[in-house]
A and B are shown apart, each in its own frame.
Chain A
Amino acid sequence: MPLSILLPMVVTGIAGIVVLLHLLGLSRTATLTDEAAAERAWLREFPDDRPTRIILCQNRTAALIETEKGRGLVWPMGADTTARYLRGARITRTATGLCIALPDYTAPRIRLHLAAQEADQWPDYLKEPA
């Protein structure tokens, strides 16, 4: 197939599908209904590291997890979730919450939307104990 046909077709096809998905309301991100949901999401990634403490943020889009191995975070990846330990994290305050930079090529930056009071408190929670 000539590139002059293939390229516009691919671009139009991708754009059309993405716009349609968005209009159908399929851009909503996952929420963690309660602590049990946050625990399940954590255990999906780290089945051997059972949480000893869970702090769910007010809008239920993320949860801080403590285990015997350290502190971690569960957050939405589109309609699903993922989780990481926070070793080496750099935390900065943003207008809408926090930005967590991790030394991890597969999860370099996590943007948390938090209430102002939470955004002030969470950096203390997120820091690894000395």
Chain B
Amino acid sequence: MTDMISFPDVVNWAVPFFIAAVLAELLWIVIRGRGGRYETRDALTSLMLGAGNVAEGILLGFIAYGFFMVLWEITPLDLGTSLWVIALCFVLDDLRYYWVHRFGHRIRWVWASHVNHHSSQHYNLTTALRQTWTGTFTFMMIVRAPLILLGFHPAMVLFVGGLNLIYQFWIHTEAIGRMPRWFEAVMNTPSHHRVHHGRNPRYLDCNYAGVFIVWDKLFGTFVPELDEEKVDYGLVHNLGTFNPIRVAFHEWVGIFRDATQPGLTWRERLNYCVMPPGWSHDNSRGTSETIKARYVDAHPELAGTPGLPPRPALGPD
């Protein structure tokens, strides 16, 4: 079994490209007067969260890598490092990404890590860098276990994961409208991913793809960007701070406060950790389903249009 394999740390090597691309997008917007928005403090927060994410990888990356190497010792399979194997690993890892990302929106424990990526009211290339500091604590590295047990070397799995992340950088822009039709059909694009960042009821919880949008079409979570409904970026309840520490940890604090409030059963405490964001024991808040249902209740003519349930699900109070 091959133990000593090394792949380049592509995300770190891409940092100069990230900086150059942000500058290029900014100049494009300033010169053309369209194609997106930038704001100083928002961009600073995004960039600091990106830097913190790199630091977290350096400090805590050994936990996931150690776990993967244990699995690599266990598995009798070794698929080698041919180009075809790397390509297959890339595709399967993108399927892994789809599910981790979907869990990231549907399980509050994982959302607590991912929420900061959605916390900007802007959508530009700095938003792509607004990454988590707490990914290790979601334990989502477990979802990569099947790849390693199937015989893909851990270094290769991390390498293709890095390529996946780099691919997703360029789709965080309003400067690109739509790509050619064949490309939009197969690949994740700025248009598809703008929808994913929307806080409009119809755009909540959809388009989880990393590289290939086909996963959303396959699993029924695809919603197209509608010309008649501009995407409103940010969270359902937007933050009132640019402090990167508060942005990075606010949902963890929310979970702690909710789960430790007096008078709850143990099941309710657990549900505050694992149910979808917006769940509450007394139904005083709203999950994305509730928000969509209320919206359709107020706009019945939109029932059944992309991203919205087929008919008003809530009756009059």
Which positions in A face B, CB cutoff 8 Å?
1, 3, 6, 9-10, 13-14, 16-18, 20-22, 24, 26-27, 44-45, 48, 75, 77-82, 84, 102, 104-108, 110
- A105 vs B115: C-alpha distance in the bound complex, in angstroms? 14
Residue of B15, B48, B58, B253 with most chain A CB atoms under a 10 A cut-off: B15
CB < 8 Å neighbour of B121 from A13, A24, A77 = A77
Contacts A/B (CB < 8 Å), 26 sampled: A1-B9, A1-B12, A13-B15, A13-B47, A16-B19, A17-B22, A17-B23, A17-B26, A18-B44, A21-B40, A21-B43, A22-B40, A44-B238, A45-B237, A75-B240, A77-B242, A78-B39, A78-B41, A79-B42, A82-B239, A102-B240, A105-B253, A106-B250, A107-B240, A108-B240, A108-B241
Contacts of B58 in A (CB 8 A): 3
Q: Are A14 and B48 in contact (CB under 8 A)?
A: yes
- Chain B 162-202, CB-CB to A under 8 Å as 1, else 0, gives 00000000000000000000000000000000000000000
Query: What's the nearest-Cβ distance from chain B to residue A58, in Å?
Result: 22
Contacts of A77 in B (CB 8 A): 121, 238-240, 242
CB < 8 Å neighbour of B19 from A1, A13, A81 = A13
Q: Are A106 and B246 in contact (CB under 8 A)?
A: yes
Q: Are A48 and B294 in contact (CB under 8 A)?
A: yes
- A16 vs B15: C-alpha distance in the bound complex, in angstroms? 14
By DSSP majority rule, is chain B's interface helix, strand, loop, or mixed? helix
Q: Are B246 and A105 in contact (CB under 8 A)?
A: yes
Residue B30 is within 8 A (CB to CB) of chain A in the complex? yes
Query: What's the nearest-Cβ distance from chain B to residue A42, in Å?
Result: 12
Q: For window 98-133 of chain B, which residues contact chain A by CB distance below 8 Å?
A: 121-122, 126
CB < 8 Å neighbour of A1 from B13, B22, B39, B43 = B13
- A93 vs B42: C-alpha distance in the bound complex, in angstroms? 27
Contacts of A18 in B (CB 8 A): 40, 43-44, 47
Q: Which residue of A lies closest to B126 (CB)?
A: A17
- A48 vs B39: C-alpha distance in the bound complex, in angstroms? 29
